[in-house]
């Protein structure tokens, strides 16, 4: 992901968590991945760019859809996450998925080379959204679509049961002023506005209610979200060590409200948006 500090996204705790919880986190995000892939409507033979691809989705799913002649290039600011993505693609025997370590604000590709672009939970973290989206438009073929998934509002179960509770014990700002903000495009029409400002046309935007299900225990999902949610790290580090047992207990109780047998079924409100180059 293109953020102000690459170290934030490469931090060891985030990488360890990504590896430790890769199966369960993939299961939790599967509905969003599938929704974005269907929204993007890839066709066989397409050349696709997946921005801020992290550990590989939706790029890997897209690679399966555009095979055998099509190909997908996954780009991310974290070289370590790209290694995980490449390993996942290799394990799926995908020969048409490759990775490129790069910043979304300065893409290392020639003009008009891609038929389609996707970005799952990455556009919110671009320092200069207009510049990054302009770069994306540059590398797309005329009238090619760029499709995005972004978080809806903070006021939804996954965040209320985790970061809201943590913030009650940390005090101060939940997110660093001027820093990365997962909810930057949660306001209706704000992502559409950014796309138009970057020159995209035929802009479309909708809010979707999608499954967001953790296949395991409440303690696991809280550990996971604390480890991988890099923008909240400064806030989490302000919580006194002696307060953490209470934080965990309160979060667990809140999360358990969404239990259905052996799963935690939060549900999620996600913004899907697209535009044509």
**What are phi and psi for residue 119, nearest 5 degrees?**
-155, 115
Neighbours of 151 (CB within 10 A): 21
What pLDDT, in 10s, does the model give residues 176-196?
998 999 999 999 999 999 999
Rounded CA-CA distance 276/143 in Å is 5
Query: What integer pLDDT is reported at residue 11 of this predicted model?
Result: 54
> Does residue 55 or residue 114 have the better pLDDT?
114
Mean pLDDT, the chain, integer? 93
pLDDT tier at 14 (50, 70, 90 boundaries)? low
What pLDDT, in 10s, does the model give residues 252-262?
999 999 999 99
264 has pLDDT over 80: yes
Rounded CA-CA distance 3/9 in Å is 8
Distance of CA 134 to the CA centre of its chain: 20
What pLDDT, in 10s, does the model give residues 147-179?
999 999 999 999 999 999 999 999 999 999 989
Rounded CA-CA distance 215/221 in Å is 9
Residue 164 DSSP symbol: H
What pLDDT, in 10s, does the model give residues 221-235?
999 999 888 899 999
Rounded CA-CA distance 11/77 in Å is 12
Neighbours of 189 (CB within 10 A): 13
> Does residue 21 or residue 104 have the better pLDDT?
104
- Looking at the chain, the number of H-run helices and the number of E-run strands are 12, 10
Query: What integer pLDDT is reported at residue 12 of this predicted model?
Result: 55
267 has pLDDT over 70: yes
206 has pLDDT over 70: yes
SS3 208: strand
**Could you tell me which CATH class the domain 6-153+181-215+267-276 is placed in?**
alpha beta
4 has pLDDT over 60: no
Query: What integer pLDDT is reported at residue 122 of this predicted model?
Result: 95
Rounded CA-CA distance 125/146 in Å is 16
Percent of the chain clearing pLDDT 70 (strictly above):
94
pLDDT tier at 6 (50, 70, 90 boundaries)? very low
What pLDDT, in 10s, does the model give residues 18-38?
677 778 999 999 999 999 999
Angle formed at CA 266 by CA 205 and CA 40, multiple of 5 degrees:
30
What pLDDT, in 10s, does the model give residues 49-65?
999 999 999 999 999 99
């Amino acid at each position: 992901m293109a953020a102000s500090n690459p170290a934030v996204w490469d931090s060891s705790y985030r990488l360890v968590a990504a590896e430790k919880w890769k199966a369960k986190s993939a299961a939790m995000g599967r509905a969003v991945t599938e929704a974005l892939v269907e929204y993007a409507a890839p066709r066989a033979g397409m050349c696709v760019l997946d921005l801020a691809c992290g550990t590989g989705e939706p790029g890997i799913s897209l690679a399966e859809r555009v095979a055998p002649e099509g190909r997908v290039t996954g780009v991310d600011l974290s070289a370590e996450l790209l290694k995980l993505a490449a390993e996942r693609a290799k394990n799926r025997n995908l020969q048409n998925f490759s990775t490129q370590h790069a910043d979304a604000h300065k893409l290392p590709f020639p003009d008009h080379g891609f038929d389609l672009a996707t970005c799952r939970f990455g556009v919110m973290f671009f320092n200069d959204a207009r510049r990054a989206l302009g770069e994306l438009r540059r590398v797309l073929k005329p009238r090619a679509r760029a499709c995005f998934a972004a978080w809806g509002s903070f006021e939804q179960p996954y965040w209320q049961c985790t970061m809201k509770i943590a913030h009650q014990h940390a005090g101060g700002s939940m997110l660093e002023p001027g820093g990365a903000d997962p909810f930057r495009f949660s306001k209706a029409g704000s992502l559409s506005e950014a796309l138009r400002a970057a020159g995209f046309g035929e802009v479309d935007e909708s809010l979707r209610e999608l499954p967001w299900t953790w296949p395991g225990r409440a303690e696991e999902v809280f550990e996971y979200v604390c480890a991988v949610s890099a923008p909240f790290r400064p806030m989490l580090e302000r919580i006194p060590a002696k307060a953490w047992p209470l934080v965990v207990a309160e979060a667990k109780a809140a999360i358990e409200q969404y239990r259905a047998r052996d799963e935690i079924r939060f549900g999620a409100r996600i913004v899907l948006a697209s535009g044509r180059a």
